[in-house]
């Protein structure tokens, strides 16, 4: 894990994101104290403060999972019999077990942050998988965060805005605000603005005043004090497409002029800005895009 710190330093980053476990598995090995101490000492040696490190939750986590799942029948192709699968398919239904496992995962992940000396933890809010109302889903997400807060002190949960794709929660700033309204300890909740997600949700960051308008809207609805980080991604899809498809900086529909606005927006000062762009064989590594972003600063 400490090697991530060295890599961030090597490519010229001043902030970085990381996974604290496999992002596609419910199970993970515990983090031993020696590895945690090595991570902290490497951060200190490389000059990275905890407020500029933003771990990301595994993709399986869904704090908005419905209380009850529905096992939908499938007609077997070779007969007229009806088959009920022994488990709910994730894109059709979700069961209470997913919520409990997600909540337990969040507690474990906040514990890892605490062990590593980190203070921020980024999550996708969750999805109602088409089975419950937005209001009920938001309440479940907040309940999961409140429970995790009660188990692990000090670490702030950072909600990522989404692209309005499918049944996901968080594509509208009003949804993020409603989650925050249900959080007991509001000093430990925040938001990370993803540029690709915002663009896909309908905020035209490619427009001349698009970034300013988005931040003004965010400030009015959510509150600028809750802004804790930014994910820097161009978009493969057009504005309002609702697709979560990241593109390299300047090669998508947001474009370089959009990111010039981002890099010169004063309300982004002092918070981590994390690249999540795809691998590009034309780039040596992330240092290419980091240098490009710095060049846009005036």
What is the rounded distance in angstroms from the CA atom of residue 197 to the CA atom of residue 214? 12
Catalytic residue among 59, 83, 87, 294: 59
Catalytic residue among 112, 178, 231, 286: 231
Residue 14 is among the residues annotated as catalytic for this protein:
no
Catalytic residue among 24, 269, 279, 282: 24
What is the rounded distance in angstroms from the CA atom of residue 21 to the CA atom of residue 194? 22
Residue 194 is among the residues annotated as catalytic for this protein:
yes
Assess contact for 160 and 192: CB atoms under 8 A: yes
Residue 109 is among the residues annotated as catalytic for this protein:
no
Catalytic residue among 21, 149, 246, 286: 246
Residue 112 is among the residues annotated as catalytic for this protein:
no
What is the rounded distance in angstroms from the CA atom of residue 132 to the CA atom of residue 143? 15
Residue 276 is among the residues annotated as catalytic for this protein:
yes
Residue 37 is among the residues annotated as catalytic for this protein:
no
Residue 197 is among the residues annotated as catalytic for this protein:
yes
Catalytic residue among 108, 109, 160, 178: 160
In sequence order, the 6+-apart residues with CB closer than 8 A to the CB of 60 are 23, 24, 25, 26, 101, 102, 105
Residue 24 is among the residues annotated as catalytic for this protein:
yes
Count of CA atoms in the C-beta half-sphere (13 A) of 115:
16
Catalytic residue among 21, 103, 124, 140: 124
Catalytic residue among 174, 216, 276, 285: 276
Catalytic residue among 108, 194, 234, 247: 194
What is the rounded distance in angstroms from the CA atom of residue 8 to the CA atom of residue 17? 9
Please choose, from the candidates 176, 175, 173, the residue with its C-alpha nearest in 3D space to the C-alpha of residue 158: 176
3-state DSSP assignment of residue 128: coil
What is the rounded distance in angstroms from the CA atom of residue 148 to the CA atom of residue 8? 29
What is the rounded distance in angstroms from the CA atom of residue 239 to the CA atom of residue 201? 7
CA of residue 13 relative to chain centroid, distance: 19
Catalytic residue among 244, 247, 286, 289: 244
Assess contact for 180 and 226: CB atoms under 8 A: yes
What is the rounded distance in angstroms from the CA atom of residue 156 to the CA atom of residue 21? 18
Catalytic residue among 197, 203, 286, 289: 197
Active site positions, annotated: 24, 56, 59, 124, 160, 194, 197, 231, 244, 246, 276
């Amino acid at each position: 894990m400490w090697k991530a710190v060295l890599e961030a330093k090597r490519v010229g980053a001043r902030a970085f994101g990381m996974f604290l476990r496999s992002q596609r598995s419910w199970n993970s090995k515990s983090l031993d104290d020696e590895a945690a101490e090595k991570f902290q000492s490497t951060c200190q040696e490389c000059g990275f403060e905890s407020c500029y490190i933003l771990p990301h939750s595994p993709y399986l986590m869904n704090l908005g999972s419905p209380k009850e799942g529905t096992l939908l029948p499938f007609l077997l192709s070779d007969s007229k019999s009806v088959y009920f699968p022994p488990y709910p398919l994730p894109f059709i239904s979700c069961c209470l077990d997913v919520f409990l496992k997600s909540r337990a995962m969040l507690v474990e992940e906040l514990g890892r942050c605490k062990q590593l000396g980190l203070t921020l933890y980024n999550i996708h809010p969750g999805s109602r998988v088409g089975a419950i109302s937005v209001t009920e889903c938001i309440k479940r997400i907040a309940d999961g965060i409140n429970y995790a807060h009660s188990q692990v002190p000090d670490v702030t949960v950072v909600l990522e805005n989404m692209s309005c794709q499918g049944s996901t929660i968080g594509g509208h700033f009003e949804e993020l605000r409603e989650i925050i309204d249900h959080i007991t300890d509001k000093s430990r909740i925040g938001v990370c603005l993803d540029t690709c997600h915002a663009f896909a949700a309908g905020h035209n960051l490619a427009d001349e005043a698009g970034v300013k308008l988005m931040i003004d809207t965010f400030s009015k609805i959510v509150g600028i004090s809750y802004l804790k980080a930014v994910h820097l991604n161009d978009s493969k899809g057009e504005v309002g497409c609702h697709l979560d498809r990241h593109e390299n900086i300047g090669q998508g529909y947001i474009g370089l002029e959009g990111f010039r606005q981002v890099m010169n927006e004063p309300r982004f000062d002092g918070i981590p800005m994390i690249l999540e762009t795809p691998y590009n064989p034309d780039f040596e590594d992330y240092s290419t895009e980091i240098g490009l972003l710095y060049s846009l600063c005036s």
